[in-house]
Amino acid sequence: MNDTIKILLVDDHAIVRAGFRLLLSSVGSFVVVAEAERGEAACQLYLETQPDITVLDLSMPGIGGLETLRRICQRDSQAKVLVFSVHDESVYVNRAMAAGAKGYITKSSAPGILVEAIQTIAQGGTYIEQGLLKAPPPAPAQTSDYRAIIDTLSPREFDIFLLLAKGLTAHKIADELCLGYKTVANYGTQIKAKLSVATVAELAHIAMVLGVMKG
């Protein structure tokens, strides 16, 4: 019986991937079979290498982590994807799990958590880092309405919503996500229309109210 766990690492920072690889190589049964710095490459490498586990960051240029997750799970309903992200807000966890992830841990977690999560998911389980899904306080009606709308945003709309809320300009977002300026501007207009707001300040307020962005 072959107990080797083949892993695909997806993160846009080479130094982060190097750290992951070093940690994972210390576990005898783990083998990193491929690395990708963008979602587009990750989807192709997934098909080529058929990893047992994909360790995926959410914040990446190009199609982004959530869309990458969605595409991988769409192509392979048995895909086992562990999200490893800087974001610890429950909205990220919920969206990732809804898109097909089998686990979610943060980059601030202890190294042993990553190993434990991979082993658990490889054995057919799910793994969410303790404390990530705290029950939110009762929300006023308007907050519930905002949350319902945010849940309907596509992965790309969600990425742009957050970047606009953080104060990035459309030009800066276009550079970061490798999109055209007009494309980003159109997304911004659509997002504001869906949330019935007119300014970036209002988007930031909604993001903070929902706990998507820390104040």
Band of pLDDT at residue 37, cut at 50, 70 and 90: very high
Query: How much is the average pLDDT of 157-165?
Result: 91
- Global pTM value: 0.73
**What integer best gives the mean pLDDT of the chain?**
88
For residues 36-60, average pLDDT = 95
| pLDDT value, residue 155 | 87
- As a whole number of angstroms, the distance between CA 18 and CA 62 comes to 21
pLDDT for the residue numbered 214: 60
1 pLDDT band (50/70/90 cuts)?
A: very low
Cβ-in-10-Å burial (0-12, 13-18, 19+) of 93 comes to: buried
pLDDT given for residue 142 in this prediction: 63
Q: What region does 125 belong to: left with phi over 0, alpha with psi -120 to 50, or beta? A: beta
The structural domains of the chain, ordered by start, are 5-128 (3.40.50.2300), 141-209 (1.10.10.10)
Poorest-pLDDT segment among 59-68, 101-110, 118-127, 183-192: 59-68
Give the model's confidence band at 201: pLDDT under 50 very low, under 70 low, under 90 confident, else very high: confident
- For 34, other C-beta atoms within 10 Å of its C-beta total 18
Q: How does residue 59 score in pLDDT terms, banded at 50, 70 and 90?
A: confident
